């Protein structure tokens, strides 16, 4: 599938996005394994393989025999968020500082959405960054979220 590089909002990025059909559970597992290998990680003082990117996998399940283009019977978002870390001065290279800042901004934006939902706020700040925009349908009235 064609890749897309979109940068917007709190400097979150969608990179290497693709729609990949899977006709069986084995095919779906292979797609997930391939996506996992492409995930950005690096060693830090705190963790040997720290996630340096968020991973979002959207799964749409169609019933057997569904017409092409039919709405999915079920839509899931499998989300693995990068961890929030403060870099010690020994690791404070400009690129790493910027990377951490972007991760922390998107995590903060997600926290703001969750806080607003908990308090039934009139305004939900989904437009704060790409991460929250992508997850908006799952926080909607018909959606359910499990952490």
**Reported confidence tier of residue 2, pLDDT bands at 50, 70, 90:** very low
pLDDT in tens, 15-30: 667 788 888 889 999 9
The string of pLDDT tens digits covering residues 50-98 is 777 888 888 888 888 888 888 888 888 889 888 776 766 666 677 777 8
Please state the domain count of the chain. 1
pLDDT band at 11 (very low <50, low <70, confident <90, very high): very low
Q: Is the pLDDT of residue 5 over 50?
A: no
Is 27 inside any structural domain?
yes
113 belongs to a structural domain? yes
**Residues spanned by the domain of 66:** 6-139
When pLDDT is averaged across residues 110-137 and rounded to a whole number, the result is: 93
Q: What pLDDT, on a 0 to 100 scale, did the predictor assign at position 61?
A: 86
Distance CA 136, CA 13 (A): 16
pLDDT of residue 93: 74
Average pLDDT score, the chain: 80
- The angle that helices 94-118 and 130-139 make with each other, rounded to 10 degrees, is 30
The DSSP output letter for 88 is P
For residue 50, report the phi and psi dihedrals to the nearest 5 degrees. -75, 130
pLDDT at 9: 45
The answer to whether residue 144 sits within a structural domain is no
For residue 79, being part of any structural domain is answered with yes
Report the predicted TM-score, pTM, of the whole model to 2 decimal places.
0.76
Residue 122 has pLDDT above 50, yes or no: yes
pLDDT at 30: 93
- 147 assigned to some structural domain: no
Q: Indicate whether 13 pLDDT > 60.
A: no
pLDDT value, residue 1 = 39
**For the chain, what's the residue count?**
147
Residue 145 counted as domain residue: no
Q: Among 85, 137, 128, which residue's Cα sits nearest to residue 106?
A: 128
């Amino acid at each position: 599938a064609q890749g897309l590089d979109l940068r917007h909002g709190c400097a979150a990025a969608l990179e290497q996005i693709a729609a990949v059909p899977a006709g069986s559970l084995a095919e779906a597992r292979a797609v997930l394994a391939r996506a996992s290998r492409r995930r950005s990680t690096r060693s830090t003082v705190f963790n040997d393989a720290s996630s340096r990117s968020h991973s979002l996998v959207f799964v749409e399940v169609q019933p057997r025999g569904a017409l092409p283009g039919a709405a999915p019977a079920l839509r899931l978002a499998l989300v693995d968020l990068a961890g929030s870390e403060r870099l010690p001065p020994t690791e404070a290279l400009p690129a790493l500082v910027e990377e951490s800042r972007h991760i922390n901004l998107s995590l903060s934006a997600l926290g703001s959405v969750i806080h607003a939902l908990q308090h039934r706020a009139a305004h939900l700040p989904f437009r704060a960054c790409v991460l929250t925009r992508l997850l908006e349908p799952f926080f909607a009235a018909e959606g359910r979220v499990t952490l």
